[in-house]
Amino acid sequence: YNEAVNAALGNTAPLEKMTLVARDVIGSHDWSLRAPATDYKDLDVLVDAFNRMLSECETRTTELEREMVTRQGVERELRQADRQKDMFLATLAHELRNPLSPMTSAVALLQMPTVSPQAREKALAVLERQLQHIVRLVNDLLDASRVATGKLSLDTAPLNIGELLHTAAEGAQALAQQQGLQLQLHLPDEALYVNG
């Protein structure tokens, strides 16, 4: 009888070790832990199955963690792209609004019955220049769409910095006047070109 009891108790030691490993895995989430092998054939099959299950859980957990890191990276990139899109749209809205002020002033000037022919010509030139600026901005917006779809090609050309500054100052002139400021632009006699 004692031998049978001792044999039965000896057979439970591997189960107790397996139970301890299971508790450790649950507590630590360390799927690399394994139950020790046993000398008992019947129990060794159970321990081996338990260890294979832990190995499968470890593999799946590692795959899920990798996938989660990848998804987090993609999510960060999407958030960054969304912020850049918002910044682009805010800048574009600002840039589209800028030419409207000189255009409004030019239209108001053209509506005056006593406007001189020289002032009329200047107002028409302002309207034409600012309208071309708006067309360029709309084309830039279309280019942004082409960037998103991978269909953008850049065309560079020589640009006169003086003309760009003159257009920018002209766009800010009405705002300066509204604020009671005087805006003056002093350009060099020689034209300065950049490739842009």
Confidence band for 5, pLDDT divided at 50, 70 and 90: very low
- Between the alpha carbon of residue 65 and those of residues 58, 70, 87, 124, 151, the distances in Å are 10, 9, 33, 64, 36
Structure tokens at 180: 């009671």
Interval 135-167: pLDDT, tens: 888 887 787 777 777 776 677 889 898 888 888
Neighbours of 144 (CB within 10 A): 14
Report the pLDDT value the prediction gives residue 167, as an integer from 0 to 100. 82
The answer to whether 136 and 92 are in contact (CB under 8 A) is no
The predicted model scores a pTM of 0.43
Q: Give the Cα separation of 50 and 23 in Å (integer).
A: 13
Report the pLDDT value the prediction gives residue 64, as an integer from 0 to 100. 92
Interval 45-76: pLDDT, tens: 888 888 899 999 899 989 999 999 999 999 99
Query: Sign (positive/negative) of CA torsion 36, 37, 38, 41?
Result: positive
Neighbours of 79 (CB within 10 A): 10
